[in-house]
Structure 1
Amino acid sequence: MEKTVIELFAGVGGFRVGLNDVHEFNLETGRAIENRDWRFVWFNQWEPSTTSQDAFNCYCKRFGEENNNNQNTNISDVSVNDIPNHSLLVGGFPCQDYSVARSLSGEKGIEGKKGVLFWEIKRIIEEKKTPFILLENVDRLLKSPAKQRGRDFGIMLRTFHNLDYNVEWRVINAAEYGYAQRRRRVFIFAWKNHLRYNQRCTNIENFITNESLFANSFPINIEDFRIQELNNDILAYDDTVSMTDNFHAKFKKSGVMINGKIFTQDYMPINIENHTTLGEILENNLDLNQYNLNENQIDRMRCAKDSKSIERENPVGEIYNYSEGSMSFPDRLDLPGRTMLTSEASINRSTHVVQDPQSGRLRFITEIEAERMQGFPDNWTKSGMSPRRRYFMMGNALVTNIINQLEMNLSEIIRNE
């Protein structure tokens, strides 16, 4: 099978950077130097909250616009006929409400909330019969919504099952596999159940520990690892509409769904000797004064990172205490960085503040350091957008090293079809 890809919700191209092993770009043309042979035949990136489409423009600058294989428009307005056939669909999509409602006739389940992007993925794979799918999301997807734990992920899995897919998922903390950020994300790999790859699934426990994409790419400590069948059967429900009201389940950090049966278990990664630390990705540059904090900013940051207990009122008028523990200030340089958010380099509890090894001053991390934490080449987002937007793009991105690490096994899977 040819390695053709469409990238949805593409941002500044994290999946493509990882799959095609991009470490640099041509300084004269701005074009990425792609070292592998994944052929991206189409991508979509649209930011509804801004008139400037910085991520789309960055993607085009780094990867070009040949044959107009791109769409800077709301994915729900895109005709499936305009999307080329492909062997792999990739995308990092938001964690949203996946509840399903009845149509007015009461005969058919329909997607509930407008703008839920998972239903756009469903629309595309249903029509294009996409063989393989690789998705990324925040790990809280497995537990959402808070009042009905596991419902949304269960609806996703049932949707895949209804379309003849089997699924594997894994929550991966990038730092546990040697990378520079303690960022936990759930990665979801789905494949059509008639494919040759499905033959690996005859022994579920062996598959999830030794034979699957994630098992081969991100080894785990299999001592005492025993998978368990999920505590709720998605096939016991008539459809995703009935699941909306009644389904809940405890999904753990890893699992598979094979022919509608779900098995799940927590795991420990194997011990990695070498870990990239925050200190190792800092710029060795004496001229970083613009990132230094003044005394007022230092005081405000210290206050934001202190422990606190605040009395709050919930939507039904009940009073509760909201507590937060203290955080290191400045950030430790001998550990990987914390999870980066879109508010990086602002006065915010989540912002990284480092003591610069050269000057000894407290400062924000630079845009280049933010890119390094996500595995992008230096100055990848220096493409006409403001510094604030560059930080925003990295807070929204994925750790491209994760995609890079699984590429070899994914490539083998698709080539063997």
Structure 2
Amino acid sequence: MKKENTIQVIELFAGVGGFRVGLENANKDLFKVTWANQWEPSKKAQEAFECYTRNFTEGQHVNEDIADVPDEVFEQVEPDLIVGGFPCQDYSVARSLNGEKGIQGKKGVLFWQIERVIEKTHPKFVLLENVDRLLKSPSSQRGRDFAVMLATFRNLNYTVEWRVINAAEYGFAQRRRRVFIFAYKNGIAFDQRQKKLDAKDIVFKEGFFAKPFPVSEEPFKNREASDYIPVDRVEISDNFSFNFHNAGVMREGKIYTAHVQPDLIDPTPLKDILLDDELVDDKFYLTKEAEEKFEYLRGPKKIERTSADGHKYFFSEGGMSPVDDLDKPGRTMLTSEGTVNRSTHIVEVNGRKRFLTPIECERLNGFEDDWTAGMRDRMRYFCMGNALVVGLIEIMGKRIEEIDSVENDSEEVVQIGFSL
């Protein structure tokens, strides 16, 4: 049963709860996560789920493959908002042999589970996160996968806005670039207001993302485009390609997209999230052997290699700084953080080089210190590499609170489409 004056939330692919942390930081009394799912199929120990249940006690928490959750479960939930970060996968589709639904997605594609949950629950809002290469995948048919997703939302009767956001460009401590997708149900009051706007105004001034994450008023180097998504998702999968820019809107299959430039906010430098030296365990400092290894890994390379068919070629790699600049925000953290590889952060403090600690990685994403305490260090790094910058979700949560209040408006509903 939905409680009055709350926004009921389903959190899919929850990880250690980044969406929930951000929403509760925005307004804990308003956002209520009533059902959450986290399942790591490749791991026996479900440490992310255990972390989630340690930190959150309210709501139903489910640790199983979402594909195995029956439809009836979702039919009993009444969410206003569905959130989730899901993997970038192959979204090609084909006609099923018996014609059911007209398409057949590849097994294991988690976006189809998002579609299923939306079909069963009909929330007002959906907020998703993914890597920014989603807009360009696959390389052989650029934009196909994202177009399939947009068509799915169109078929479900939603309008979609999207925006690639680099957290550091809006004041945070990590240069983490991700695409955020916000869908809202056609016909709600917020939708009616947006229908009165030109698509360009939505992207640059008045949209879900443009208000809290301001951008310059014109497309970068005039990079903008418009198009229509085919009705048939199979046709999209077989033939459609399109150059999606880093921001855009889709309504009823009509696309407007543009390359936007953020109005920059000074980022938080890496030095501001570091622990005091006395709090850093010796195990995080590099041995001489490890220093030499990282010097090689981060240095320039030109190595002759031989392919499986005997072809010789050169693998080339440019050099990078031997340590991370403490006066800049951190680079994008990966799941391999803390291991001996080129992408791991190495900081030098008082003449000593070391890894970031798990707590510092939590800070890079905006979590409380020791949010993942209780896990092995390797898993703490892995979970933070998978997580999002919760401060961005807090900002988006406040924006959702703002637009949800529009539902109480008595403004007359007027059907007005936007121009391409």
* Distance in 1, Cα, partners of 2:112 & 2:304: 38
Q: Aligned residue for 2:375? A: 385
1:195 corresponds to 2:188: yes
* Distance in 1, Cα, partners of 2:400 & 2:385: 26
Q: Aligned residue for 1:210? A: 205
1:102 corresponds to 2:95: yes
Deviations 1:46-102 (A, max 9, x none): 0101111111111111011x46x1110000011132131100000000000001111
Q: Aligned residue for 2:143? A: 150
Shift of 1:112: 2.5
Change (3 A) 1:13 1:284: same
% of aligned pairs identical? Answer: 51
TM-score (norm. length: structure 1): 0.90
> Which stretches in structure 2 are left out of the alignment for 5+ residues?
408-420
* Distance in 1, Cα, partners of 2:311 & 2:209: 43
* Distance in 2, Cα, partners of 1:107 & 1:85: 27
Q: Aligned residue for 1:77? A: 68
* Distance in 2, Cα, partners of 1:316 & 1:252: 38
1:276 to 253, 268, 277: 268
* Two-structure CA RMSD over aligned residues (Å): 2.0
1:370 to 361, 365, 368: 361
Change (3 A) 1:322 1:102: farther
Shift of 1:169: 0.3
* Distance in 1, Cα, partners of 2:105 & 2:309: 25
Output the amino acid matched with 2:274.
L
1:403 to 393, 402, 405: 393
Deviations 1:164-194 (A, max 9, x none): 1110000000011110000100000001111
* Distance in 2, Cα, partners of 1:287 & 1:378: 12
Change (3 A) 1:291 1:195: same
| Number of matched pairs | 397
1:229 to 216, 225, 228: 225
Q: Aligned residue for 2:19? A: 15
Partner SS, residue 20 of structure 1? helix
* Distance in 2, Cα, partners of 1:311 & 1:98: 36
Output the amino acid matched with 2:102.
G
Output the amino acid matched with 2:229.
I
Q: Aligned residue for 1:6? A: 10
- Range 277-286 or range 389-398, more displaced: 277-286
Deviations 1:341-387 (A, max 9, x none): 01111110000000024xx21000000000000000000000x2111
Change (3 A) 1:119 1:320: farther
Q: Aligned residue for 1:57? A: 50
* Distance in 2, Cα, partners of 1:247 & 1:313: 37
CA contact 1:3–1:415 (8 Å) conserved in 2 = no
TM-score (norm. length: structure 2): 0.90
Q: Aligned residue for 1:30? A: none
* Distance in 2, Cα, partners of 1:40 & 1:268: 33
> Which stretches in structure 1 are left out of the alignment for 5+ residues?
23-33
Deviations 1:227-258 (A, max 9, x none): 7333x5313xx511121111111011000002
Shift of 1:276: 0.4
1:90 corresponds to 2:83: yes
* Distance in 2, Cα, partners of 1:251 & 1:335: 29
* Distance in 2, Cα, partners of 1:267 & 1:62: 37
Shift of 1:308: 2.3
CA contact 1:13–1:59 (8 Å) conserved in 2 = yes
